[in-house]
Amino acid sequence: MPNSKAFVQRITLLVCATCLAISAPLTPPKIIDCHVHHNGSEAFLRQLSAKLLSVQGMALLITAPKDLDQVGIFMRQHPGQLIGLGEIQLDARDVSATIDRFHAAGFRGLGEITKPQYSYDDRRYWPVYERAEKYNMIILFHTGIVNRSNPNVASDVSSDRMRASALDLIARRFPRLTVLGATSAIQITLGPAKWRVGIRTSTSTFQVPR
């Protein structure tokens, strides 16, 4: 990860603090994967756990609401390995209740957030960020281009609504929120922002520092 020493240090501290909050202190991880999508199967969790154990690693696990109970139980059974990120839809009517459910189940963050109907920094989404900040949660955003799985099917998706630069306002408006930006393609977009406000980047995820 270029320019990532401080980033790794901060993430390490962040995740270790999380471990202390949810489980007994463990050996600090040597590797932290900040972006793992759960596929919903128990076998996946077991394989991930074994891999993390073999490399003294830790992972931020992106979890759909339907898998909340399964992952919540697994996290408690494997303390210090997984940090749960609850997948939410910014435009869902029940997004606040979903955040509450993830928080109550011990999930330390939200994401990966993607495909919004408005720009990430739109004021309509501020109650979501306010709630996450109140819970001291991490938010992982997909930024930049996103796949178009079936070009023959009409969709209401715009990469422009997911600009990395839209995270700037969120970070400024919600100063206690930990903002992570996913995908390496944004590094070009971030160049000027980095110079102005000190945003750090890595190959797959970047963090808006305080």
State the nearest-atom distance from the C-beta of 145 to Zn ion, in Å.
13
Stretch that binds Zn ion, among 65-73, 93-101, 104-112, 143-151 (CB under 5 A): 104-112
State the nearest-atom distance from the C-beta of 35 to Zn ion, in Å.
6
Q: Please report, for residues 38, 60, 73, 83, 105, the alpha-carbon distance to residue 78 in angstroms, rounded to integers and kept in the order given.
A: 16, 13, 9, 10, 15
Q: Reduce the DSSP state of residue 70 to 3 states and report it.
A: helix
The owner of tokens 């963050």 is 109
- Nearest residue to Zn ion, by Cβ distance, number only: 112
Q: Please report, for residues 33, 47, 97, the alpha-carbon distance to residue 56 in angstroms, rounded to integers and kept in the order given.
A: 11, 14, 34
Stretch that binds Zn ion, among 5-13, 85-93, 107-115, 144-152 (CB under 5 A): 107-115
Are 85 and 35 contacting, i.e. CB atoms less than 8 angstroms apart?
A: no
What residues contact residue 150 under an 8 Å CB cut-off, 6+ apart? none
Q: Cα separation of 2 and 27, whole Å?
A: 25
The count of chain residues that interact with Zn ion, using the rule CB under 5 A, is 1
User: Which residue, 37 or 134, has its beta carbon nearer to Zn ion?
Assistant: 37
User: Which residue, 62 or 75, has its beta carbon nearer to Zn ion?
Assistant: 62
Stretch that binds Zn ion, among 53-61, 68-76, 108-116, 117-125 (CB under 5 A): 108-116
Q: Which of residues 110-129 bind Zn ion (CB under 5 A)?
A: 112
The binding site for Zn ion (CB under 5 A) comprises 112
